Amino acid sequence: MNYRHAFHAGNFGDVLKHIVLALVIEHLKAKETAFRVIDTHAGIGRYDLAGDEAERGDEWPDGIGRIVAAAPPADVAALIAPWLDVVRAENEGGTLLTYPGSPLIARRLMRRQDRLTAIELHPDDGAALAALFSGDRHVTVRIADGWASLKAVLPPPERRGVVLVDPAFEVAGELPRLGEALVRAWRRWPTGTFIGWYPVKGRAPVDALHAHLADSPIDKLVAVDLFVRDPESAGRLPGAGLVVVNPPWTLPDALDRLMPWLAETLAQGPGAGFRVRRLKAA
């Protein structure tokens, strides 16, 4: 209950997470049938980069701040465009003042037939999220435990869609918990796409998560890690990653094209880099 995403909004972990979320949503839009986006740890949806929390965290200048100042090659620009267009639309005039969280990014990318379920446990953040989407019939906001809510919201009536699981990682054991939750959720909805975000504080815990998922019945799985510094280094968070269950068939190759540029642009010190791991054939 102490974690507030406002301190970290727009950082390098958000950049990676939101680019991949947008790529998955754009793939879902290739078919006319409706889909559902489920965000289990949704936050408040929109963040003030000039606010006290963002200024105290001071993480966004090395995340979204670097991206908007960069000139990516054409193929990378096309990959990040769905996400970056949403960010720019939130900042008319070109000055970065606001960063959209995952539920707002999803909502901006959705079509009229699609739906969003946004779940947030923190009561103040949940109230802010509900206010943001007040009157929007395409969005359901639940003030509840995202972990516990997975059983209740799966499978969705649309039978197509993506679930983003982005917990706070405040307590020990959250990484194994993520792996177990993804397997359970996949069993309830084996055709859904699931994105699990995690911090990287050394390779060994992340490798254990990957191994657990690779040994599970899940048959389509890709992982991507971004290191802004040596992942074994102390101090500020050196890396972040995602595991994607049932990834779009286009995603692994898209990550191969994206990640060299992203790692170079967001590097903060020695040991920066990335890895894309095809854990189960897509």
Average pLDDT value for the chain: 94
Given 14, 39, 125, 166, which residue is catalytic? 166
Instruction: Give, as one character, the DSSP assignment of residue 121.
Output: -
**Per-residue pLDDT at 1 exceeds 70:** no
230 is catalytic: no
Strand ranges for the chain from DSSP E = 36-39, 46-48, 98-100, 115-120, 139-143, 161-165, 193-200, 221-227, 239-245, 273-280
Closest CA relative to residue 82, chosen from 38, 120, 27 = 27
Residue 80 CA: distances (Å) to CA of 86, 267, 277 = 10, 18, 20
What does the CA dihedral 140, 109, 253, 210 come to, rounded to 10 degrees? -20
Rounded mean pLDDT, 110-132: 97
pLDDT at res. 77: 98
Q: What is the largest CA-CA distance in the chain?
A: 49
- In angstroms, the CA 62 to CA 24 distance is 24
Per residue in 25-67, pLDDT (tens digit) is: 999 999 999 999 999 999 999 999 987 776 666 899 999 999 9
The answer to whether 130 and 76 have CB atoms below 8 angstroms apart is no
Confidence of residue 2 (pLDDT cuts 50, 70, 90): very low
pLDDT mean over 85-113: 96
What confidence category does residue 82 fall into, taking pLDDT thresholds of 50, 70 and 90?
very high
Chain segment 166-213, per-residue pLDDT in tens = 998 888 889 999 999 999 999 999 999 999 999 999 999 999 999 999
Q: Give which of 222, 223, 163, 152 is closest to 190, Cα–Cα.
A: 163
